[in-house]
């Protein structure tokens, strides 16, 4: 419960349903080439950028990794509501999860190099 309170930035948690439900619903009601352009823009540009944002946001706030599944789950619920076709909707949700994982773990690949640290002989008293 503390983890959710710590990450309870309402702007962030409100963006997920807006991007997952409202924008696709608005695009679904369009027609013609504008609808195709809207789907491409939403699936490839907006959602991928938002997935990167989610991964970085959760890492900076010290969140547990299991909160990364929230955005793909909201997207998959949108697929279940027929906001996106299920033929590729579930795959895009998986892609968004992978992108979030990359953004969440970015910069953590280097370990502290203990061999490069300078030893202090005699403790702190010997340092001047």
Three-point CA angle 87, 19, 23, nearest 5°: 80
Q: Kindly report, residue by residue over 63-114, the tens digit of the pLDDT.
A: 777 888 998 999 999 889 988 888 888 999 999 999 999 998 887 655 555 5
The answer to whether residue 92 sits within a structural domain is: yes
Q: What are phi and psi of 127, to 5 degrees?
A: -90, 130
DSSP-H helix ranges across 65-108: 70-80, 86-105
Range(s) of the domain holding residue 47: 2-105
Question: How many domains in the chain?
Answer: 1
Please write the tens of the pLDDT for every residue from 5-53.
555 567 777 888 888 888 888 888 888 888 888 888 888 899 999 999 9
Q: Is the pTM of this model over 0.85?
A: no
- Domain contains 16: yes
CB-side neighbour CA atoms (13 Å) of 46: 16
112 is a domain residue: no
* Residue 114 domain flag: no
Inside any domain, residue 76: yes
């Amino acid at each position: 419960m503390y983890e959710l309170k710590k990450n309870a930035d309402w702007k962030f948690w409100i963006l997920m349903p807006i991007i997952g439900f409202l924008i696709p619903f608005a695009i679904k009601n369009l027609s013609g080439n504008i609808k195709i352009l809207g789907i491409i823009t939403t699936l490839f540009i907006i959602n991928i950028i938002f997935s990167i944002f989610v991964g970085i946001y959760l890492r900076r706030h010290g969140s547990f990794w299991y909160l990364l599944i929230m955005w793909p789950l909201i997207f998959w619920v949108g697929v279940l509501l027929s906001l996106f076709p299920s033929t590729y909707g579930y795959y895009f949700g998986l892609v968004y999860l992978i992108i979030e994982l990359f953004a969440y773990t970015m910069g953590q690949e280097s370990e502290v190099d203990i061999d490069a640290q300078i030893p202090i002989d005699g403790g702190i008293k010997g340092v001047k």
